[in-house]
Amino acid sequence: SAQAPPVTLSSLCKPRQLYISFSDVGWENWIIAPQGYMANYCLGECPFPLTAELNSTNHAILQTMVHSLDPEGTPQPCCVPVRLSPISILYYDNSDNVVLRHYEDMVVDECGC
Amino acid sequence: LSLQESLQESLLLKSLGLSTKPSPKTHAPVPSVLWRIFQRRKTLPALSKDLGDACRVEEFNVPGNIIRVFADQGHFIHHGQPPRLLCLQKRLYFNLSVLEEGERLTMAQLEIKFSHNSYPSPSPSQGQGLELRLYRSSRLPLRGTPAPERGQKLLVERSFVQLHKSLVFDLSGVAKDWRTHSRNLGLILEIAWSGGDGASALGSGGCTSISSFLDTSLLVVTLSQQQCGASRRRRR
């Protein structure tokens, strides 16, 4: 562990901001609202020992231990979304009907290992 | 878009349950009921959003994650003067073919809108008033037939003394039947003047109050098995 760089707070597993703009992907002609939304994503390290803030599973705790003993053989646990929330999109369909559609799991609220 | 980008776009659209990128020809106004539901959901705090159920429409208390409002594509059956005592006769048609195969219809609600509450109100004591009848078409009318075949199935018959800005009817059963068993041949809407003779129908009150008829629309709620079935499995 002496060689590993010190883990800083900002490098720990947590949500990072990611704004999706529908006009950037050329969808502004058929999406009425929203024009975009904050989807976020997870990024960061899951170092040993895992602290409670890192929303880790028991398996992740085990894996960090093994990683600390055998860094080449076993990777760190992944940093993934553990709580997501839905969004609603209003759009026109091909028959010019107005459609309101709810999509689950579209916004990353919390990350974990 | 490059070939790769268009492939990525089609995959993304598919994950959103859309087979192709919509290309609307007109931009109709957003029905107020949809805008209200959209705004309410948008302003929910994040935590209750997670607890809320994107696969249920709380406003109507039915399962569903897609709400569409279909504009009526029908036509008035009479140009000019409808038959005696009949103020309005209209064929209604809502094209439900846009619903994807994997969508389960859970609710359909017909709304008949008038531009305002019309007055003077007929006198119920004399048994005068407006009657509304809604038929389900089970046969296409022969070209030129002035009136719907009486064999149509009567769905709703009610009288109302005072016109309301909008009338709402639950047509979930009919819409489900259109999707599963029989062809969607539309509906026939009749509004008639009851009580009193033809002259009074055309006099003050009577049919003139129907002039404020605006339009009809069908609000349909469906549940996408792809989006609501899969995520449920994953969570479990």
pLDDT, tens digit (0-9, with 9 covering 90-100), for B140-173: 655 555 555 556 788 888 877 666 778 899 999 9
Distance separating alpha carbons of residues B94 and B110, to the nearest angstrom:
10
Q: Which two tokens stand for residue B223?
A: 């549940």
Tell me which chain A residues have a C-beta less than 8 angstroms from the C-beta of B52: 86
Q: What pLDDT is recorded for position A2?
A: 46
Q: What pLDDT is recorded for position A20?
A: 93
Q: Is B11 on the interface with A (CB under 8 A)?
A: no
Interface confidence (ipTM) of the complex? 0.79
CA-nearest residue to B27 within chain A is A96
Q: Is B40 on the interface with A (CB under 8 A)?
A: no
Query: In this structure, which amino acid lies at residue B74?
Result: G
- Alpha carbon of residue B53 to chain centroid: 24
CA-nearest residue to B9 within chain A is A25
- Chain A closest-CA separation from residue B46 CA (Å): 7
Q: What pLDDT is recorded for position B206?
A: 65
3-class DSSP assignment, residue B131: strand
Which of B51, B65, B221 is best to mutate for the A interface (most A CBs within 10 A)? B65
Which of A38, A95, A106 is best to mutate for the B interface (most B CBs within 10 A)? A95
CB atoms within 10 A of CB B96: 20
Q: Out of A42-56, A92-106, B105-119, B142-156, give the one with best mean pLDDT.
A: A92-106
The alpha-helical segments, DSSP class H, found in chain A are 58-69
Q: What pLDDT is recorded for position B117?
A: 63
CA-nearest residue to A84 within chain B is B50
B166, B167, B172, B174: CA torsion to nearest 10: -120
- Chain A closest-CA separation from residue B146 CA (Å): 29
Distance separating alpha carbons of residues B53 and B227, to the nearest angstrom:
12
What pLDDT digit, counting tens, does each position of B162-220 carry?
667 788 999 999 999 998 877 888 999 988 877 655 444 545 456 776 677 778 999 99
- pLDDT class for A26, splitting at 50, 70, 90? confident
Q: Is B65 on the interface with A (CB under 8 A)?
A: yes
Cβ contact, residue pair A102, B35, below 8 Å: no
Q: What pLDDT is recorded for position B215?
A: 86
Q: Which two tokens stand for residue B34?
A: 């949809």
Q: Which two tokens stand for residue A95?
A: 């028959």
The alpha-helical segments, DSSP class H, found in A8-89 are 58-69
Distance separating alpha carbons of residues B111 and B156, to the nearest angstrom:
13
What pLDDT digit, counting tens, does each position of B25-64 carry?
888 899 999 999 999 988 776 555 555 578 889 899 999 9
What's the mean per-residue pLDDT of chain A?
Answer: 89
Q: Which two tokens stand for residue B132?
A: 């509304």
